[in-house]
Amino acid sequence: MSSTDDESPLRGVAQSAEATATYLTDIQHVLMNIGRQLETLQHETRVHLRGTHVEGDRWKEAHLRALPVEAAMKKTLRDLKKAVDDLERVTFKRRAHQEKVNALPAIRKEKQLVKARKKNPTQIQAALQNSSESTQRVSAATGMGYGNPTSIHDMKRKSA
| Of 108 and 136, more confident | 108
Chain mean pLDDT for the chain: 83
The three-state DSSP-derived secondary structure of the chain is CCHHHHHHHHHHHHHCHHHHHHHHHHHHHHHHHHHHHHHHHHHHHHHHHHHCCCCCCCCCHHHHHHHHHHHHHHHHHHHHHHHHHHHHHHHHHHHHHHHHHHHHHHHHHHHHHHHHHHHCHHHHHHHHHHHHHHHHHHHHHHCCCCCCCCCHHHCCCCCC
Segment 145-156, tens digit of pLDDT: 556 656 666 666
